């Protein structure tokens, strides 16, 4: 039993953190809100140069054959920066799924480009046809009636939706469910898709932890700076306790996310339960921290011009994405009751 990351894993996190700090300040998120995605896409290219996009591909496919455990810290950083991009869809889920379930032709066409960071993949699981970043991506991997499909975005109809988090560039996807885009049929698609769903949920949980940490950082900084009654509001016990509660929620979610990553990385039999635990607690923490951060900021937090709202709205979106709390609680309930 040893619950700690390796130096290599932490180094990778630091690399991603530095890139995002430099290239994905709040202005880039704000630009995406206004329909300008160039900044967020430029980050994709820079991160591709570090090899991040190929992390989960096998070495034969030009990747690094890394696992959910290697990926969880970098994904947390993408949440911290609120980077608006389908990184979980592409790297945590899409590439491994394409490699495992793609036909030779599909792999040849898409895999090298995905590993090199030239294309972006988005996912649409059964019943989840409202997809973030669909219009600006290149390939859709979808589950319909238990079968897996790999559809070039040129053949997908995307009807714009509107997320409360505008930077998600949300759309409802549909496509012709034909044999041409069908993925391999000689394999157990059900098992692969269910693994893919768990990977998506875990990746989302990791981003949620990052979102929490950023919102808490903002609120703590604000509580130190903002003065009322002649002293920082952070000296008030009511404010302190609010932020202490936020930290507790966040810090008890975090090890669950890391543990779920380990379970996925090692194909542990308890992985599905671990992922559900992680997703529930990370989602709850992010939404709880968002609420506390808003209250601590007061009126300024309740505006569009201040940055906090972009993180809050991302938290609301991701907390329910890839299985909301009720869904995952039910999955656990069936296991333990």
Which residues of this chain interact with other proteins, rule CB under 8 A?
1-6, 69, 216, 220, 223-224, 231-232, 234-235, 237, 239-241, 243-245, 247-248, 251-253, 255-256, 258-259, 262-263, 266, 268, 277, 280-281, 329, 332-333, 336-337
CB of 50 to other proteins, least distance (A): 22
Q: Please enumerate in sequence order all residues whose Cβ is within 8 A of that of 228, keeping only pairs 6 or more positions apart, or say none.
A: none
Tell the smallest beta-carbon distance from residue 223 to other proteins (Å): 6
Q: Of 14, 100, 24, 12, which Cα lies nearest the Cα of 310? A: 24
- 9/103 with CB nearer other proteins: 9
Residue 193 CA from chain centroid, whole number: 17
Best CA proximity match to 56, nearest among 13, 101, 19, 90: 90
Q: Pick the closer one to other proteins by CB: 97 or 289.
A: 289
Pairwise CA distance, residues 90 & 108, whole Å: 16
* Smallest gap from residue 252 Cβ to other proteins (A): 5
Pick 171 or 234: Cβ nearer other proteins: 234
* Strands 147-152 vs 139-144: parallel, antiparallel or unpaired: antiparallel
Tell me the closest approach of the beta carbon of residue 72 to other proteins, in angstroms: 10
CB of 182 to other proteins, least distance (A): 38
The interaxial angle of helices 7-23 and 38-49, nearest 10 deg, is 150
Measured from the CB atom, is 112 or 232 closer to other proteins? Answer: 232
| Shortest spacing between CB 42 and other proteins, in angstroms | 33
> Token match 């959910």: residue?
68
Q: Taking the CA atoms of 67, 73, 78 and 82 in sequence, report the sign of the dihedral they define.
A: positive
**Other beta carbons within 10 Å of 251:** 14
Helix (H, G, I), strand (E, B) or coil at 303: coil
Residue 67, judged by CB atoms within 10 A of its CB (0-12, 13-18, 19+), counts as middle
Spatial contact of 215 and 242, defined as CB atoms under 8 Å apart:
no
Q: Whole-number minimum distance, CB 241 to other proteins, in Å?
A: 5
Nearer to other proteins, 25 or 298 (CB): 298
CB nearer to other proteins: give 154 or 336: 336
Report whether 272 contacts 331 (CB < 8 A). yes
Minimum CB separation of residue 14 from other proteins in Å reads 17
Going by C-alpha positions, the residue among 114, 119, 98, 115 that lies closest to residue 41 is 119
Pick between residue 229 and residue 305 the one whose CB is nearest to other proteins: 229
Cβ 159 to other proteins, closest distance in Å?
35
Q: For the beta carbon of residue 256, count every other beta carbon within 10 angstroms.
A: 21
Kindly give, in sequence order, each residue whose CB lies less than 8 Å from that of residue 292, ignoring residues fewer than 6 positions away.
216, 219, 242, 243, 245, 246
What is the token pair recorded at 129?
């046809």
Which CB sits closer to other proteins, 49 or 225? Answer: 225
- 313/322 with CB nearer other proteins: 322
């Amino acid at each position: 039993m040893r619950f700690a990351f390796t130096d290599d894993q932490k180094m990778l996190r630091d690399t991603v953190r530095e890139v995002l700090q430099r290239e994905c300040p709040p202005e880039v998120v704000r630009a995406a809100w206004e329909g300008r995605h160039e900044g967020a896409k430029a980050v994709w290219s820079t991160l591709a140069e570090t090899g991040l996009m190929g992390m989960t591909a096998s070495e034969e496919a030009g990747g690094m054959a890394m696992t959910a455990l290697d990926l969880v810290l970098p994904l947390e950083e993408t949440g911290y920066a609120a980077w608006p991009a389908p990184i979980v869809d592409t790297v945590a889920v899409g590439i491994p799924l394409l490699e495992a379930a793609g036909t030779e032709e599909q792999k040849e066409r898409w895999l090298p480009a995905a590993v090199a960071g030239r294309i972006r993949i988005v996912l649409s699981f059964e019943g989840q046809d409202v997809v973030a970043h669909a219009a600006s991506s290149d390939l859709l991997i979808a589950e319909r009636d238990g079968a897996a499909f790999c559809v070039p975005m040129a053949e997908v109809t995307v009807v714009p939706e509107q997320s409360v988090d505008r930077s998600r560039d949300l759309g409802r996807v549909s496509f012709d469910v034909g044999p041409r885009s069908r993925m391999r049929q000689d394999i157990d698609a059900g098992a692969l898709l269910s693994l893919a769903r768990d990977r998506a949920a875990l990746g989302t949980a990791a981003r949620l932890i990052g979102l929490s940490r950023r919102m808490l950082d903002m609120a703590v900084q604000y509580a130190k700076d903002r003065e009322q009654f002649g002293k920082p509001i952070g000296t008030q016990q009511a404010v302190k306790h609010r932020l202490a509660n936020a930290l507790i929620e966040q810090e008890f979610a975090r090890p669950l996310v890391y543990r779920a990553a380990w379970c996925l990385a090692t194909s542990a039999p308890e992985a599905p339960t671990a992922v559900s635990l992680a997703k529930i607690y990370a989602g709850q923490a992010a939404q709880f921290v968002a609420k506390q951060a808003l209250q601590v900021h007061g009126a300024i937090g309740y505006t569009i011009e201040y940055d906090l709202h972009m993180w809050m709205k991302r938290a609301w979106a991701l907390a329910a994405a890839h299985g909301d709390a009720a869904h995952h609680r039910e999955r656990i309930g069936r296991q333990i009751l």
